[in-house]
Amino acid sequence: MESIVTSLKQPWNLMRILRMAFGLYISVTSFMEGQYLFLAFGLFFIYQAVLNVGCMACSVSPTNKIKEDSEEILFEEIKKKK
């Protein structure tokens, strides 16, 4: 639950606002027209905007961190005997 709250508090950039507007437009229009398949697409865009997930304009940030104290791996070359 904390991650949802922290993702909502992150700064909203232009792509995130556009995703929210696009999702709201698709959701409202499809609900009014009775096209419930498109409602799912609209809700998907709203989900991406609210949680700031997805790959629209590379908004996904990498979560893997490189450890500072990692050991160096040594390799031994093996040659084929003739």
Q: What is the 3-state secondary structure (H, E, C) of the chain?
A: CHHHHHHHHCCCCHHHHHHHHHHHHHHHHHHHHCCHHHHHHHHHHHHHHHHCCCCHHHCCCCCCCCCCCCCCCCCCCCCCCC
Which one-letter amino acid corresponds to residue 78?
I
- The residues spanned by each domain of the chain are 12-58
Q: Could you read off the pLDDT of 13-71 as tens digits, one per residue?
A: 888 889 999 999 999 999 999 999 999 999 999 998 888 887 655 555 555 566 666 67
* Residue-level pLDDT at 64: 56
